[in-house]
Structure 1
């Protein structure tokens, strides 16, 4: 059997090493894709968690007694209160004193669209 020249042996070794490195690179790409899938799943779960937290904050709003609604002059604006079921309740020209809101205002100081107006302005 004829022996391979030393340069060809060296070349074959380099090709083998390169092949191993390419295999490692392929695994890195697969690992990278798996990490991206996990990040996306985490992002979706965090969004769902934030949605549930927002629902829980809305659920902490309570009306104590309807008889605590004081009538005001007819020139005052109507107060619209959104219930948890999505219905609206209009209190003509009054202040709803029986609402306890356990939800902090946003840093901007402006209420979001789900906020409840508790006093006629």
Structure 2
């Protein structure tokens, strides 16, 4: 995936968190996606990828990106930085651990 010119993610379904996008970011692949579901939480338009809300807009942005290799490289580098900052295993493991701790922690209830 790291050698791809551009990962296309034209999903109209609102996936909460796409593993494909996370893997592409970690590999530094430039991404063009539709802003559905949790995709905008991963792809920051112009920083870690490109977003297009409509099919014509997607096609237009695809044409632009295919003609601009420097922009694709910049988006791929931004995607890799985002993955390292927000989705690295040690970061996610800490978040999951804190969530589990909050779920099993004794609850304090007010007297009635």
Say yes or no: TM over 0.5: no
TM-score (norm 2): 0.25
In our comparison, the structure showing a higher alpha carbon Rg is 1
Q: Which has the higher contact order (CA 8 A, sep 6+)?
A: 2
More strand by share: 1
More helix by share: 2
